[in-house]
């Protein structure tokens, strides 16, 4: 479990670093797109990795 | 002093390199281990092989450095997709999926894979990796550095000033204006596989005339002082596929060539047209590179130039740069393409940690070693006669002297895409019929592609003009054969009178040097045909197992020399 939690923590940190990277005046307009893509990616990852979550993900779309 | 692992991968030509205490200990292509040509994997096998060669655990690494920065690359993808919306649906889906699923989290994945703290894993800029891979192993204390490829994060072309342990940027061009993408699109147009067929286009160019220069000047517009731009409407690459040409280019040049169809340059006017297109593309590429090199000379000065990036593997262009750019010395390290980024990344990491610059690269033998004893056992089990030889090179030269083919696997494998006497297939160079037989029975290349010669360094100047000492050891340039030497080079001179010469010294390729000397003593001939130890569409052999598999599947090859073990077929 600690491995999985560690992985989630590292990905969360990297996601925040990615959003920080885009929080500059010349890149700011892309932040909404980045956030939407990250959320979609997280749902995709959850749907792929945990099959019992998949029906809820399908319902969302 | 530090131990740093450099990694390039997840696109093409994945590789790993290990620098310890300021010395390059190992540099290995993933394709030599996973047996997938131009492997696009994360090079975990190559990295582990490097660590084994350095007798290190991953835990002892001070840093792992990836050759490209994921976030700026993601930004370039997003901004281009917004710019081309909605014309790039499949490119959008494919590239965003790849980014979200893996590439954005690559540094985390590297930390997890090798069990090192995340803080020890970092990324450096793609073109800086290229520049470092050339300059920091060059023989120069100060040099101009020119990096040219398809695209990194955003940069496609850059000029650097290398001084000691520093690289300072001087000029750059950004996507989509890219010589690499231009050449890739024309490679695809001529029916070759992109990232594999660029050298085929270069070879084909020698058969053509530059009749399409005017048309292609609308595609690649050369500006002043090294500047150039691409006209995006000719490129599918920017909308619906990663690398390729679009319908506008077909309207401009005519129908593209169907892949994998036989070539007939003598009898088929269409094939001659593709050769003319290739010649025109090559000429424009050379002109663009010359203008960039002249700008580098103005910006940086000095007599030395280092080249890196995939376009630096264009040996014909490098020869023109050597002749016309104004630089008296040019260095191109053998893995100039993306694989070389692993070496550059490792060197940048090591320098940042305070290590000294490594000595100039002498030998390309940075790859995996052989186990000749294990090879002998395996060969015997396969039904071959395998015997340890007291004078293995004499026996190999004897077979070559009577017109045979000898596979040579010696010591550690080569760094870079060229066979440089460590994983080579050798044949007499004086007989064009033998060359054709070799091609028909072993290599199965397009008939217009030349084979390269190897010659001892002390003989190279007698066989070829303008040999130089910086590029010919790594086969990164071409030289014109001397008229007097043509009879002994019939099988290795291209239709334009040049050869991609490999000049050999005992320090760089000890086994091949001895075979060349013995072959000359027996025959008077000073060169051998040297091609890579692989069949069609295979990566170069890595291990003794790969070499024996090659020997077993190519009956035209008379013998295999595995270090001092000679493997021959039993009389049937």
What is the model's pLDDT at position A61?
46
B259-287 pLDDT tens trace: 999 999 999 999 999 999 999 999 999 99
Record: contact B75-A44, CB cut-off 8 A: no
Q: Give the mean pLDDT of chain B.
A: 95
What is the model's pLDDT at position B81?
82
Record: contact A18-B104, CB cut-off 8 A: yes
Least CA distance to B79: which residue of chain A? A30
Tell me what ipTM this predicted complex has. 0.84
Q: Of A46-60, B230-244, B468-482, B527-541, which gets the smallest average pLDDT?
A: A46-60
Tell whether the model's pLDDT for residue A57 goes beyond 50.
no
Instruction: Tell me the chain A residues in contact with residue B120 when contact means C-beta distances shorter than 8 Å.
Output: none
| Most A-contacting residue of B66, B69, B74, B79 (CB-CB within 10 A), to test interface | B74
Record: contact A30-B79, CB cut-off 8 A: yes
What is the model's pLDDT at position B252?
97
Distance CA B56, CA B182 (A): 42
Pick A51 or B434 by higher pLDDT. B434
Tell whether the model's pLDDT for residue B257 goes beyond 60.
yes
pLDDT bucket at B332, cuts 50 / 70 / 90: very high
What is the model's pLDDT at position B570?
84
Tell whether the model's pLDDT for residue A30 goes beyond 70.
yes
B148-172 pLDDT tens trace: 999 999 999 999 999 999 999 999 9
Q: Look up residue B375 and give its two tokens.
A: 């090879």
Distance CA B73, CA B326 (A): 34
- The pLDDT of B479-491, averaged and rounded, is 97
| Most A-contacting residue of B66, B70, B71, B93 (CB-CB within 10 A), to test interface | B71
Handedness of CA B8, B50, B504, B379 (dihedral sign): negative
Record: contact A18-B71, CB cut-off 8 A: yes
Distance CA B294, CA B557 (A): 46
Q: Is B466 a catalytic residue?
A: no
What is the model's pLDDT at position A48?
59
Give the start-end residues of each E strand in B112-250.
121-123, 142-148, 155-163, 166-174, 220-222, 228-230
Distance CA B363, CA A8 (A): 44
- The pLDDT of B53-76, averaged and rounded, is 97
Furthest CA-CA distance within chain B: 69
Q: Is the peptide bond before B86 cis (omega within 30 degrees of 0)?
A: yes
Record: contact A11-B108, CB cut-off 8 A: yes
Closest CB to A10: pick one of B74, B75, B108: B108
């Amino acid at each position: 479990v600690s491995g999985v939690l560690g992985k989630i923590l590292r990905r969360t940190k990297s996601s925040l670093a990615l959003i920080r990277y885009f929080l500059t005046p010349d890149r700011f307009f892309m932040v909404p797109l980045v956030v939407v893509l990250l959320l979609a990616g997280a749902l995709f990852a959850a749907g792929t990795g945990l099959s019992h979550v998949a029906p809820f993900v399908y319902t969302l779309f | 002093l530090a131990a740093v692992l450099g990694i390039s991968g997840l696109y093409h030509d994945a590789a790993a390199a290990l620098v310890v205490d300021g010395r390059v200990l190992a540099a290995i292509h993933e394709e030599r281990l996973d047996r997938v040509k131009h492997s696009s994997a994360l090079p975990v096998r190559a990295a582990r092989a490097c660590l084994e060669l350095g007798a290190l655990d991953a835990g002892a690494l001070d840093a792992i450095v990836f050759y490209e920065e994921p976030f700026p690359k993601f930004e370039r993808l997003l901004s281009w997709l917004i710019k081309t919306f909605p014309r790039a649906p499949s490119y959008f889906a494919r590239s965003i999926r790849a980014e979200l699923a893996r590439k954005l989290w690559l540094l985390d994945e590297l930390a997890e894979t090798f069990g090192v703290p995340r803080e020890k894993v970092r990324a450096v800029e793609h073109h800086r990796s290229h520049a470092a891979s050339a300059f920091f192993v060059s023989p120069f204390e100060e040099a101009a550095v020119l990096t040219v490829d398809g695209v990194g994060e955003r940069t496609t072309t850059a000029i650097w000033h290398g001084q000691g342990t520093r690289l300072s940027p001087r000029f750059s061009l950004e996507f989509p204006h890219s010589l690499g993408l231009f050449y890739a699109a024309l490679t695809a147009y001529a029916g070759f596989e992109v990232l594999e067929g660029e050298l085929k286009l270069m070879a084909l160019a020698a058969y053509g005339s530059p009749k399409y220069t005017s048309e292609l000047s609308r595609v690649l517009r050369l500006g002043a002082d090294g500047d150039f731009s691409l006209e995006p409407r000719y490129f599918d690459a920017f909308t619906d596929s990663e690398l390729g040409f679009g319908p506008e280019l077909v309207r401009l040049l005519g129908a593209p060539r169907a892949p994998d169809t036989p070539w007939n340059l003598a009898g088929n006017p269409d094939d001659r047209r593709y050769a003319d297109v290739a010649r025109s593309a090559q000429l424009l590429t050379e002109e663009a590179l010359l203008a960039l090199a002249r700008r580098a000379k103005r910006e940086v000065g000095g007599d030395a130039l280092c080249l890196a990036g995939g376009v630096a593997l264009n040996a014909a262009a490098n020869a023109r740069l050597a002749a016309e750019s104004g630089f008296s010395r040019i260095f191109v390290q053998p893995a100039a393409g993306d694989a070389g980024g692993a070496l550059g990344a490792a060197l940048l990491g090591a320098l940042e940690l305070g290590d000294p610059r490594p000595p100039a690269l002498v030998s390309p033998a940075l790859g995996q070693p052989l186990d000749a004893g294990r090879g002998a056992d395996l060969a015997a089990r396969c039904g071959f006669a395998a015997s340890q030889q007291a004078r293995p090179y004499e026996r190999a030269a004897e077979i070559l002297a009577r017109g045979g083919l000898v596979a040579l696997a010696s010591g550690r494998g080569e760094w870079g895409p060229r066979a440089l006497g460590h994983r080579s297939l050798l044949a007499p160079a004086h007989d064009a019929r033998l060359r054709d037989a070799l091609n028909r029975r072993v290599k199965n290349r397009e008939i217009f592609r030349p084979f390269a010669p190897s010659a001892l360094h002390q003989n190279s100047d007698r066989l070829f003009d303008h040999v130089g000492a910086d590029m010919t050891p790594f086969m990164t340039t071409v030289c014109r054969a001397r008229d007097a030497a043509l009879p002994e080079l019939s099988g290795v001179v291209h239709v334009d009178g040049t050869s991609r010469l490999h000049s050999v010294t005992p320090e760089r390729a000890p086994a091949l040097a001895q075979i060349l000397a013995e072959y000359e003593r027996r025959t008077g001939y000073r060169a051998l045909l040297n091609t890579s130890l692989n069949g069609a569409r295979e990566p170069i052999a890595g291990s003794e197992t790969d070499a024996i598999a090659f020997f077993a599947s190519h009956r035209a090859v008379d013998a295999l020399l595995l270090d001092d073990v000679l493997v021959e077929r039993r009389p049937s």
